[in-house]
Structure 1
């Protein structure tokens, strides 16, 4: 299956009225995408508890909302994001612990309402992840996460991303169209369409196809990573300033791109092969994210869900003056 890029929907949580708006928005998204009344009710309950938890512990924050394409239907992803100290994870996971104005069911009970629940909290703040799927149609959770935001909430985003799964093999793309706004988006989408046709093709030919389809646009930086589970290897091909890193529990490897602009001019793309990558995190990002982050500064984060990793990095290292995309993929020989 393939997953086309999309923006993260950000709902500010700064007063109690916005909790209700978050609940209605999440529930409506679920109802519009195949969730029955019972499952949409679970989505509404979880949205309420996550948003209320932000108000209780941080006074303000955000709820990030995303639709999750699946082989047969859709799931709903919600991430509660704050920048406050003093989050008491143990207390919040206790049933009956009230976050104020809710049923007091506690995040422990919320975790049982979801198919995927994960948390990362430290002195810089907390990120809580909930993924829900219709219970009558069990979907495997794909271990990827993305945080994509346009500059000044522009509906047009000059970044795009794309994921393709073929069994255990994965191909992941990030493009940053030059500048931002509609012209940058047009360039990025042209490259994404070319990639989506043959995401597992020979790397050199695939980049040439993207280049050809981006001619006549502004062009941009582009990179894709192709994971082959059988040989436990990854081929990375980049042109321009898309950042990429392979991370394990004890080390990280920066991935090498070539200079140039796809759709304008570049030398022949140079693929680079990396061995023994099973169990690693692949992190790809546009230059809207600072490059000075180090996951070792966040003890235990490497073991959290990729959606949590992407959101923490966006929260703490977004430059704030360009579109930004952070794509995190767990490279695993099996999924589900």
Structure 2
């Protein structure tokens, strides 16, 4: 199966009236994805509780919404509440009856019960709470892949795009940043993604040549492409331009090298770098809308959280705010079939 790009919907939560808007937006998204009324109601309830908790405990924050598919192709909705507050004790706050805001103390507990996938990271930088809900119930086929993709100034056109192709025992992942932003950048990125999707498991240089041909005549763009083979614990990476790529394991990380140039324009013959003994690693690919000077070691425990939480925290703290931005985080051990 192939996962394709979907922009993150960002809802500001800094006024009580926005809780209702969050509920309606989440409910509408679930209905559009084919959720029945019961499952769509669960999505609306979780959105309400997350938005309410942002106001009660952090004063303000944002709610991120994104459509998902599971490993078996079921539709899903991802909700992330993100703030810059002082953090909280998640063990106590998930217990019904505990409250720091003078309420009944059932909000976070109801999120845990309503979501099929729940995770949280909280520290002095702020808190991020994840809830994923799938149509029809069940949690065994959640893909441990997280994405935060945003266009500059919420433009409908986004010059960044991504894909992840999954097969038995491996995956092939792509991030493209079309030069600039807006419709022309989006056109360049989409041309490259379409060429990648034709045969994402071909030899990386062959895939790149196909993408280069498809992007000629456009603005061109930067490309980062990784292929992982689980049986061999091997990752191959090919990058042209300023797509960032990092492998993370525990408290250690290593950057993956890219070559200079523009796909669809001019670049020297790209080199494929092979990395052996890759197991229990995170692969993080990101466009240059994200600063590169982040270090997960500054966030104790974050590397062990769900990839969607990691992507959201990196976007919160390192988005440059002057370009489209994409952060793609993949658990290489658990994301493949």
Residue 218 of structure 2 is matched in structure 1 by: 217
Give the alignment of 1:175-194 within 5 angstroms. 175-194=176-195
- The answer for unaligned runs of 5 or more in structure 2 is none
Q: Partner residue of 2:206?
A: 205
Distance 1:180 1:95 in 2: 46
Partner in structure 2 of residue 125 of structure 1:
126
Q: Distance in 2 between matches of 1:304 and 1:35?
A: 27
Structure 2 match to 1:304:
305
| Equivalent position SS for 1:161 | strand
Count residues in correspondence.
Answer: 336
Superposition deviation, residue 102 in structure 1: 7.8
What is residue 235 of structure 1 aligned with on the other side? Answer: 236
Verify: 1:271 aligned to 2:272, yes or no.
yes
Whole-angstrom CA distance in 2 between matches of 1:281 and 1:295? 11
Would the aligned equivalents of 1:245 and 1:252 in 2 still touch at CA under 8 Å? Answer: yes
CA contact (8 A) 1:310 1:326 kept: yes
Runs of 4+ aligned residues of structure 1 deviating over 4 Å after TM superposition are 98-104, 136-139, 333-336
Render the CA deviation track for 1:127-159: whole Å, top value 9, x for unaligned.
000001123576610000011111111111111
Q: Secondary structure at the match of 2:23?
A: helix
Could you state the TM-score of these two structures normalised by the residue count of structure 1? Answer: 0.96
**Matches for 1:132-171 after TM superposition, within 5 Å:** 132-135=133-136, 140-171=141-172
**Matched position secondary structure for 1:329:** strand
Superposed, 1:40-59 pairs within 5 Å as 40-59=40-59
| 8 Å CA contact 1:94, 1:106 repeated in 2 | no
TM-score in terms of structure 2 length: 0.95
Per-residue CA deviations over 1:55-98 (Å, capped at 9, x if unaligned) read 11111111000000233331110000101114342332111345
Q: Secondary structure at the match of 1:34?
A: coil
In 1, are the aligned partners of 2:170 and 2:228 still within 8 Å (CA)?
A: yes
Does the CA contact (< 8 Å) of 1:164 and 1:199 recur in 2?
yes
Cα distance between partner residues in 2 of 1:204 and 1:135: 41
Gaps (5+ residues) in structure 1?
A: none
How far apart are the structure 2 equivalents of 1:65 and 1:55?
17
Determine if contact 1:229/1:333 at 8 Å carries over to the other structure. Answer: no
- In the alignment, which residue of structure 2 is the partner of 1:82? 83
Contact 1:281 1:331 survives alignment (8 Å): yes
The root-mean-square deviation of aligned C-alpha atoms, in Å, is 1.7
